[in-house]
Structure 1
Amino acid sequence: MSHARPAQCAGHLGSRMWLPTILNQWPTKPKRRLNGARWRRENAMITMCAQPASVPTCPLPPGPCNAPPAPTGACRSRPCPAFTGRVPGSEPAMITVGLSTLGFCSLGMLSAMFSALAFYAASPHCRWPRLRRAGRLGRQIGLVAAVAALWLWMAELGFAAGLVAMLCTWMLAAMLLPALAAWHRPDKALVPSLIAFVPLWMLAALWAFSFRSPLRAWLTLAGCAALGFAVLGLLRLTGATLRTFTTLHTWVGLVAGFGLFVAFYAGALTLFHHDLPLWQTPGAATALPAGLDDAQYLLDDVLATHAEARRHVGMTFPGADHPQPLAYWQAEDGSWRYAWPGQTGGSPTPPQTGLAELVNELHYSLGLPVAGVYVMGIVSLLYGMALLSGLVIHLPKLLGDLFALRPGRNLKQQWQDAHNVIGVLSLPFHLMFAVTGALLCLVFMQMAVLNPLIYDGKALQAVPTAMDTAPLREASGIPAAPGSLRELHARALEVARAQGVANFEPAYLKLANGGDANATIEITGEASGTLGPLGAIALDVESGRVLASQLPGQRDANHATLSAAYALHFGEFGNGVVVWLYFLLGLGGAFLFYSGNLLWIESRRKRRQPQQSRAAVNMARATVGVCIGLCVAISVAFVAALVLERVAPAQVDHGIRWACFVTWAACALWAALRRPAQAARELLWAAAISTALVPVAHGALNGDWLWLAAARGHWPLFWIDAMALAMAFGFARLAYASQRRARNGDPNSVWAN
């Protein structure tokens, strides 16, 4: 999938790969990420492996935005790093570590199983009175054992690792409960079956993502989903069970709904991530990208000027996605330095990133620093639970809900039908989002948990070997020429064609031991026609010999899994039809969570009382302020970016963030001070006006009016402005409908005047 890119100075580097710094760089990660245009790069599942202790590590730099570098892709099995490369006499200590880890896991598992069994025995569903009485005592004992195990884990592993590890053992124990529940009451097997369904889905995804063909991958996932639906369809659902799942679906949706609305609305806009810098920057559509000679000059200058860059340096190849090359490396103090044509002194800050990075940050972290990624990972898990519980609710009447859209005077029924239709039609899309979102957000948390449990705290040394395509080599101390980028670029294309990847296009490089006889270069690029488009080739700089490769069709399961998961999550496979389909489904997902909150408010409305509950009024105000306020804030940020590019180009990043978050906070405050109906109507009109100003400001300030962009063939500019006009019309229609409802609807509703 190709997109035009802006010809903007140095930089809109890919920021789409927003994962934290790899573990080998954890102690010295930069204060600012390398931001800019999204990088469609390949991340790997963390299959840890280690080199002997005598081999010094020389890790390659991470890819753009501190993404994990491409893994080694070694297909052969290697020993656990906890038992390799040890000095003599350390075996007793390692045995102690292994036994203690096994003991902690066993204690956590036994306490979780005992507590789960005790809770079941003490519940009203147990038909044996004696077992029920024993269960009450066993429940207390189980809780004490669980607390004791958790305390031991925290004392040994630390609070976060101990808590997460304990929860993992409880999850494993819960997977054993479907058999127990099905033996007693088949309909009671649904809750533990749903818990077990999540890891089963992950295993199915792992298997499917190992295919190169998108068709085979989707067919495999569809087959697994059909099998799960068939099993659920065989179970008889009682009224009590459905009410339980309805309550679960409602409250999980409410807890995660606000974050999911932000993620889906901003995520729909990030599908135009490549085109936003082109749209934002005056004259970018007509500027020409730099060439390989410019990249060679920049690399030679950086290696000659900055000695610390010779150990490892990364650089983008100029092209459609990033017109100017950008080099980045770590200084002696651990901070990051950046260089681009015209600025080779080692700037401590990357170039301006603009709207593309702001919208992307809202999508993956809600705009929250540091913890936002992990918050969204937890929200993704709750999202999956809401999807599965909603599936159980609507499974008996799936076909009826699929085509039931009954417009009329019953507005609650109309909103309910729209919610159900969108949810059922986009269910596979949402399930995929829940799985891949949790995977991409929580992968490093999983690594942090596994580090003390399995790798004896040595994961920092194991990660570079496991995740780089290029092998780690020690500098020889023999000076050598830095190598010709043009020749290495051509060599990478030749290797890719020889391995059956004819359309491989290099995107960026990572160079280790620059200027040394043992210099290694890893060239990462993209190839269309595969579910995971990113691949990497490692070469010896002096001889051009292939050291390792990870290309589509030639990768191990680790590479294929996360590469495909990333492509599926961001729509990086297929052509432009996939982008527009994801855009529509993203807006539909935002509507799904917005309508879910409205349905909760309506279901708790007291129809015969003019005074509604405080909870319903507060939820209405929060829904209006957060959801509609976000739409206003993003549109204001778009207009602010165009203005700042003219009056203060150096302050674009800070300016649009201030404009966005101050506007969002002001909208939330406005909604808190007004009646819900008034706030909804006023903020919807504000969203319509601010969104309509986007194409007007673009034409007035940059000269790229809608019709002129189409006449010049600048279709990315045309589609962004056309999309803004269509969304402004939609906001205006919603504002008019809200005004009509407030005037003519039920006078006792929170949405009435």
Structure 2
Amino acid sequence: MKIRGDVVRLYRNVHSWVGIMAGLFLFIAFYAGGMTMFELPLGNWASRTATLPAPVPADRLSELVQKAETADPSMIANHTVVLHPDETSPSSLMWVVSSDRDHGPARTVYAGLAADGTLVTQTRTPSQVGYFLNILHQRIGLPLNREYGRLIMGIVALLYAVALVSGTIVLLPSLVRNLFAVRLTENLRRMWLDFHTLLGVCSLPFHIVMAATAAGFAFHQPIMALEKTLFLPAVSTHLPQKNHSHQGDRPQALLEPLAIVDAFRKQVPGLEPDTLAYSSRGGKLSLHVTVQDAAQISRRPDGGYGEVNPYTGRLISTDFLPNHQKPAFQALTLIYALHFGTYGGWLIRWGYAVLGFGGAFLFYSGNQLWISSRRRRDRSAGLAEDSFGTRCLSALTTGCMIGCISGVSAVLAAAPFLPEGGHYQAAEALFYAVFFICLTVAACWGGTRSLRPLITAAGVLTLLIPLTDMTRSLTSGEVTSLAASVDGVALVYGVVLIVLALRKSPHRRTEIRIPVTS
């Protein structure tokens, strides 16, 4: 494909400068975003030291709810019955006693029955480490509140889209010739450029989806206003049914959990209820029956749900129920699912994690290529040292990106020793302390000089994750498959970082100028 040389140069400059402006933020977003694919398992891993009441058989769920209501009448307004307890939801009944919208999992009571039938409860806050990583990726590393963080994230997402378009245009003239030509025998800069190009093109569809959906989430308020205008008439036909369904002859008592399950199965064949989540809205009790099915597309990581009348068991709304939505809501669900990977089960989530970490490397390599190019220009201009701009970007690249890796590893390594696996404030304080220490070291020593010691520190902090977790396991005598998986991945990753830090720098060969295709 032929494109004029001046056009290619223009888009190369646009790609470089826009990529530089957005790359530092996007590295943190993609690195922490890859971690959020395992938010629930990480939260459970971090807080597994607590011993929760054992799950009860399905035929005793009603007894459990009644005894819990007798002990705490307020629980009925906000409780969840777990039909299939697992490592993520280990108790058959739980309810929230205090919550903080901005700080993740709320203080929760977990309830079960002892062997003699008495009520057993435990109150704790689930670990907020996974939730912190999710918020870190949403706010692209900035310690701002939800509103301002998402606004800046939206601006960065738009810059990200510009970088994708301009980079694709730059590559078009030499796409066939250079795409898979990863030259390992030439100079280091050429090898980095080849990897950067190959990774960018192969993951381009993923990056387009991330840029478009992230901008949508950031500017969701006007989008939601438009959604109400366009789609509210489509659902208004069944909204009145919510308000006057059996209000005159509604029974005073809630249906038993198993009765709700049977009624749901009859109305929605093929979907198996997972949890019954009760909440109070406007003085009226509502019920969301959550389902999880890897073969279906869900809007949320914890699955889709249908709204059910808790007194009659009648299905009220299917707006968020997989495979039973109207086309408008199904389209919105697809947008959420494409960003959060809430479809296809764990295979897709692992794929998203790999693409997320690959995206982080893409931004790191892009910054390093720009720094290398600026250094060549400085030497050509007769400068003995790097220019001020080159030194600043080198320090920011090393400090921010390696600081992000070190901060995340420090939070995970400290989680076994933090109260209840780590509250949000503790995780946030520890991350930013490590992050700004790395940034300060890079600013004082320079990006190039500080790179090796900072990568070494990141490797050591990562190796501390399996060390501290094994210490906790030996103390508690509890070893799980989830712990073994987390420790194994951290061990391999830490060793890789140490090897990268200690390896000898390859001898630089003669620089090869990259021709501009005209």
Check whether TM > 0.5.
Answer: yes
Distance (Å, rounded) in 1 between the aligned partners of 2:243 and 2:501: 63
Write out aligned runs for 1:561-580 (5 A): 561-580=331-350
Query: Residue 470 of structure 1 contacts residue 548 of structure 1 at CA under 8 Å; is this kept in 2?
Result: no
Give the C-alpha shift of residue 513 in structure 1. Answer: 7.2
CA deviations on 1:601-631 (whole Å, 9 max, x unpaired) are 1111123532111000000000011000111
Give the percent of matched residue pairs that are identical in Structure 1 and Structure 2: 27
Query: Residue 635 of structure 1 contacts residue 691 of structure 1 at CA under 8 Å; is this kept in 2?
Result: yes
Note closer, same or farther for the CA distance 1:698–1:436 as it changes in structure 2 (3 Å cut).
same
* Counterpart residue type for residue 579 of structure 1: R
Structure 2 residue corresponding to 1:669, chosen from 426, 430, 440: 440
Query: Residue 633 of structure 1 contacts residue 660 of structure 1 at CA under 8 Å; is this kept in 2?
Result: yes
The residue aligned with 1:716 is 482
Query: Residue 507 of structure 1 contacts residue 526 of structure 1 at CA under 8 Å; is this kept in 2?
Result: no
Q: Which moved more, 1:682-691 or 1:503-512?
A: 503-512
- Counterpart of 2:505 in 1: which secondary structure? helix
Distance (Å, rounded) in 1 between the aligned partners of 2:131 and 2:403: 19
Distance (Å, rounded) in 1 between the aligned partners of 2:428 and 2:460: 20
The residue aligned with 1:323 is 90
Distance (Å, rounded) in 2 between the aligned partners of 1:736 and 1:466: 64
2:369 aligned with 1:369:
no
The residue aligned with 1:491 is 263
Distance (Å, rounded) in 2 between the aligned partners of 1:701 and 1:483: 43
Give the C-alpha shift of residue 638 in structure 1. Answer: 1.0
- Counterpart of 1:559 in 2: which secondary structure? helix
The residue aligned with 2:117 is none
- Counterpart of 1:595 in 2: which secondary structure? helix
Query: Residue 278 of structure 1 contacts residue 717 of structure 1 at CA under 8 Å; is this kept in 2?
Result: no
* Counterpart residue type for residue 414 of structure 2: A
* Counterpart residue type for residue 634 of structure 1: V
Distance (Å, rounded) in 2 between the aligned partners of 1:513 and 1:447: 21
CA deviations on 1:189-231 (whole Å, 9 max, x unpaired) are xxxxxxxxxxxxxxxxxxxxxxxxxxxxxxxxxxxxxxxxxxx
Write out aligned runs for 1:510-549 (5 A): 510-511=278-279, 520-532=286-298, 534-549=303-318
2:396 aligned with 1:630:
no
Distance (Å, rounded) in 2 between the aligned partners of 1:432 and 1:697: 37
Query: Residue 271 of structure 2 contacts residue 291 of structure 2 at CA under 8 Å; is this kept in 1?
Result: no
CA deviations on 1:542-566 (whole Å, 9 max, x unpaired) are 3333333343332112321232222
Structure 1 residue corresponding to 2:167, chosen from 390, 401, 407: 390
The residue aligned with 1:240 is 6
Note closer, same or farther for the CA distance 1:544–1:699 as it changes in structure 2 (3 Å cut).
same
Write out aligned runs for 1:349-498 (5 A): 351-365=125-139, 366=141, 367-370=143-146, 371-447=148-224, 472-473=242-243, 480-497=252-269
Query: Residue 328 of structure 1 contacts residue 339 of structure 1 at CA under 8 Å; is this kept in 2?
Result: yes
The residue aligned with 2:118 is none
Give the C-alpha shift of residue 503 in structure 1. Answer: 4.1
The residue aligned with 1:268 is 34
Q: How well do the aligned residues superpose, as a CA RMSD in angstroms? A: 3.9
Distance (Å, rounded) in 2 between the aligned partners of 1:302 and 1:471: 34
Note closer, same or farther for the CA distance 1:329–1:597 as it changes in structure 2 (3 Å cut).
same
CA deviations on 1:630-683 (whole Å, 9 max, x unpaired) are 111111111111122xxx448643322221111111111111111222211110
The residue aligned with 2:353 is 583
The residue aligned with 1:653 is 424
Note closer, same or farther for the CA distance 1:552–1:575 as it changes in structure 2 (3 Å cut).
closer
Give the C-alpha shift of residue 480 in structure 1. Answer: 1.0
TM-score by length of 2: 0.80
Structure 1 residue corresponding to 2:450, chosen from 679, 699, 704: 679
Distance (Å, rounded) in 2 between the aligned partners of 1:693 and 1:747: 40
Distance (Å, rounded) in 2 between the aligned partners of 1:432 and 1:543: 41
Distance (Å, rounded) in 1 between the aligned partners of 2:273 and 2:434: 41
Query: Residue 481 of structure 1 contacts residue 515 of structure 1 at CA under 8 Å; is this kept in 2?
Result: no
The answer for unaligned runs of 5 or more in structure 1 is 1-232, 344-348, 749-753
Query: Residue 438 of structure 2 contacts residue 454 of structure 2 at CA under 8 Å; is this kept in 1?
Result: yes
Distance (Å, rounded) in 2 between the aligned partners of 1:563 and 1:468: 20
